[in-house]
Structure 1
Amino acid sequence: MALTAVLIVLILLFILNVPIAFSLIISTSVYFFFTDSFSSTVLIQRMIGGVQSVPLLAILFFVTAGILMNYTGITTRMLRFAQILTNRLPGSLAQVNVVLSTLMGGLSGSNVADAAMQSKILVPQMEKKGYSKAFATALTASTSLITPIIPPGIALIMYGYIGNVSIGDLFLAGVLPGLVLCLSFMIYVHFYAKKHKIETENKEKVTKKYFFLTFKDAILALLLPVVIIGGIRFGVFSATEAGAIAVFYAFFLGLVVYREMKINQLFGALIETVHTAASILLIIAAGSAFAWVLTLEQVPQRMTGLMVNYISSEFIFFIVVLIFLLIVGMFIEGNVSIVILTPLFMPMIQQYQIDPVHFGIFFIVCISIGTLTPPLGTIMYTTCAITGTKVEEFIKSSAPFLLILIIAALLLAFVPSISLWLPSVLN
């Protein structure tokens, strides 16, 4: 009865468009009206306990580093480097969009930030080259989904913390899947540009001098993910300490090397960091209390028993989870899904003997897809709002990208080596 009341209140609050964190807090508080076993102060204790963890500092540090990177001039340098790499490919500007998302994913860790940045910079330029606004917006939104699985993706840190999975292994596991998504989008853009005859003319070959000049500008930024992964993998520092190093590195590039960050920009970046980090940590706190209720009511155990009784094959399990997460992603924001669903899935994957690192990459890709779909797709609304694209036009243009993402998710599910090869080699 208590759990039913909690879920009904939660659904009603979602329908009323109450912010996710407050929906979780209010619905969880309802539980205490139906039980005399616990005082309502337990809710506060669970929320505070949910964020009292050193590993969560990694989220704060990497969010700070990612935001600082946008004020250091790195974005323009990475954009020039991406243009050099894709200069002679059909649809070169659209290819830049894909490559830049992959490169920036290793710096910011936030798909919303990357989608917003590229919507402002690249979509207007793509329109001038002959791409439709809807296609350019859908491409920008779709390629931003590479970010959550490219280290140091915030989603990887959250899943690792909640599921008690090695964050270092997750960082390594996300590299190849991120490249697979990048390559998949680039192949589609190639054929799209050929079909619509956009940017298919022959272009001058870039000189070696200009290539190395552009590479020199970008190399310091490109080294950051290498330093982070290498340092964690070889035990030089923890994931949390890596976040602190990333912040220092961003300061160093912005204030000493590139000298493009102004003091007023620094204060603006720190204020933006506080807003972003506070919203994430509030969701984690509320989600921790909600997950405690689910665990107390033995929901994970019941769901595990139900799945094991009716689904014997891990392949069918992956397909069922994919469909479930695509539906959930339409209504619930990605970070919230990680907080709520990770404790539910961990007992299940143990029963099916699925590696938690492998499942984590698949899980994050699946819930990311939901950010492109109505009615509550955060990336869809962010990019459409910035570019002025109608939602119905976005939905039509995003269909091929959704298909690519779903195929990629199934590939990650059924070929574990894509995720696990790099962690196994470097362990």
Structure 2
Amino acid sequence: MNIWLPLLCIVALAMFNVPIWLALLGGALPYFLILQPTLPVQIAVQRVVAVTETSSYLAIPFFITAGAIMNYAGISSRLLDLADGLVGHLTGGLGHVNILLSVLMGGVSGSAAADASMEAKILVPEMLKRGYDEEFSAAITIASSLITPIIPPGMGLIVFSFATQISVGRMFAAGYVPGLLCMVFMMIYVYIVSKKHGYKGSRDKMASPRELLHLLRQAFWAMLIPFGILLGLRGGMFTATEAGAICAWYSLFIGVVIYKEIKWSHIWTILKESVLGTATVMILICAAGALSYFMTYERVPQALAETMLSMNLTKVSFILMTNVILLIIGMFMEGGPAQIILGPLLMPIAIQLGIDPIQFGIMFVFNLGIGNMSPPFGIVLYQVSGLMGLKFTKVAKACMPFIAIMLLVLAIIAFCPKLILFLPNLLYGA
């Protein structure tokens, strides 16, 4: 197979910090120009363009636009007030608020980077005022933000679903259980640490029923988004692409009409963020289109499947090997490119071994998310460290217990499929 030169080019370019989309194209070109000169180079261009003609990918700009609108719609402040009313009275109250806010934000933004940035700017300063350790506050923010992409409509769930041609609705439904498990385990750890260091709650007692009702009423319109998407997909009322469009228009409606916080001056900024966000994702998908063509032409998926099956791998050994590979890759590569490149390669093998594709998809997306907070190149780790002006090594050390928690949840996803598949099977049938 003529794949080693392109792969070496990709690795070499990535080592020189060339943007990953450019590295993918740089790896594909030698194949068409040198290894297969009989193939017209126009095919590479066609494969790059052809990916954008897939109507399914229209969901990506719609959901990105919805997320950009939500940043200016006053949603985060209302969800923050609700989270504080529910758990702010507990020992380590602001730590719990931080975690719960990420779960609530997951249903409306789906972006770990956006969630971490928002909490680092709004919530962490208040934590520091109340005596919380800087590194501990940063670690909570980083770890909790990684719950966001696994809660619908997480962008990782959407990209992986389209890359591997599996049900977006089922992936959305399967994301809730691991997200809630992360929340519970993280809150237990935060409670133990807060008890030890004397971190008190942000309020004396839980909000009264009347106050909670008021907070719920304020956040009600925002909280309709994830449930509306899930129920709409389940009921066949709209496709994933249409769900993205509805989500964007609905977000604009509540930002302008209900909360009255989006002004005309925000529209240009929202559109600019949407275009940049869409371009960032789509250029990766386009570059991966050329790469996947030559891999398919060289029968790489079939050869990989034959090799792994000839090793007499069991379901358990394949899951373990895949998780180790993904954990290593996640430390060096963003989740999006890894999902687009590796997802279609590994999914057929998983199915042949009897692994449910939805379980495998959740495991895949969640595993790569752990890489976002893992040294040496965790993106969210660098982002929050930079925003707070803290040493990367100290924040990385504070993140280790949270990484252990996420590895525990990863093990549950990998080896307790009935728990993960309970909700999608309930909604869609086994």
What code does the residue aligned with 1:3 have? Answer: I
Partner of 2:331: 330
TM-score by length of 2: 0.97
- Specify the SS of the correspondent of 2:26: helix
Amino acid at match of 1:170: M
1:326-372 per-position Cα deviation (integer Å, ceiling 9, x unaligned): 10011111100001001111121122111111110011000111111
User: RMSD in angstroms over aligned alpha carbons?
Assistant: 1.4
Q: Corresponding residue for 1:60? A: 61
Paired AA for residue 360 in structure 1: G
The change in CA–CA distance for 1:202 and 1:278 in structure 2 (over 3 A counts) is closer
Residue 145 of structure 1 deviates from its aligned partner by: 1.1
Residues of 2 paired with 1:146 and 1:204: CA distance? 26
The residue aligned with 1:389 is 390
Residue number in structure 1 paired with 2:27: 27
TM-score normalised to the size of structure 1? Answer: 0.97
| Cα distance between partner residues in 1 of 2:425 and 2:335 | 28
Contact persistence 1:43–1:289 (CA under 8 A)? yes
Secondary structure in structure 2 of the residue aligned to 1:330: helix
- Which whole-Å CA distance do the structure 1 matches of 2:165 and 2:217 have between them? 39
Look up the SS of the partner of 1:107 in the other structure.
Answer: coil
Q: Which amino acid aligns with 2:331?
A: M
Aligned CA distance change for structure 1 residues 202 and 351 (closer, same or farther; 3 Å): same
Say if 1:312 and 1:393 are closer, same or farther in 2 by CA, change over 3 A.
Answer: same
Superposition map of 1:126-275 within 5 A: 126-199=127-200, 203-275=204-276
1:110 matches 2:111 = yes
Where do 4+ consecutive residues of structure 1 move more than 3 Å?
none
Q: Which moved more, 1:31-40 or 1:159-168?
A: 31-40
Q: 1:311 to 1:112 in 2, by over 3 A?
A: farther
**Deviation at 1:309?**
2.6
After superposition, the C-alpha distances for 1:356-409 in whole angstroms (9 at most, x for unaligned) are 111100110001111112332211111111111211011110100111111110
In the alignment, the residues of structure 1 paired with residue 290 and residue 240 of structure 2 have an alpha-carbon distance, to the nearest angstrom, of: 25
| Contact 1:301 1:347 survives alignment (8 Å) | no
CA contact (8 A) 2:347 2:360 kept: no
The corresponding residue for 1:99 is 100
Q: Which amino acid is the alignment partner of residue 99 of structure 1? A: L
Which residue identity lines up with residue 366 of structure 2 in the other structure?
A: V
Q: Which runs of 5 or more structure 1 residues have no equivalent in the other structure?
A: none
CA distance in 1, matches of 2:146, 2:82: 21
Deviation track 1:285-306 (CA, whole Å, cap 9, x = no partner) reads 1012112222222222222222
The answer on whether the counterparts of 1:194 and 1:200 sit within 8 Å (CA) in structure 2 is: no
Could you say which residue in structure 1 is the equivalent of 2:14? Answer: 14
1:27 CA displacement: 1.2
CA contact (8 A) 1:97 1:140 kept: yes
**Aligned equivalents of 1:66, 1:245: Cα separation in 2:** 12
* Contact map agreement 2:93 2:202 (CA 8 A) in 1: no
Structure 2 match to 1:4: 4
State how far apart, in whole Å, the 2-side matches of 1:200 and 1:137 are: 18
* Alignment partner, residue 422 of structure 2: 421
Determine the C-alpha separation between the residues in 1 that align with 2:382 and 2:298: 36
Query: Matches of 2:425 and 2:299 in 1, distance apart?
Result: 34
CA distance in 1, matches of 2:105, 2:342: 28
Unaligned runs of at least 5 residues, structure 2: none
> Counterparts of 2:58 and 2:16 in 1: how far apart (Å)?
32
Which 10-residue stretch deviates more, 157-166 or 292-301?
A: 292-301
Shift of 1:201: 9.3
Aligned to 1:353: 354
* Conserved? CA contact 2:88–2:202, under 8 Å: no
C-alpha change, 1:237 and 1:184, in structure 2 (3 Å) is same
Structure 2 residue aligned with 1:282 = 283
* Residue in 1 that maps onto 2:89: 88
Deviates more, 1:312-321 or 1:195-204: 195-204
Whether contact under 8 Å (1:50, 1:289) holds in the other structure is: no
Give distance in 1, aligned partners of 2:171 and 2:320. Answer: 22
- What amino acid is the match of 2:26? I
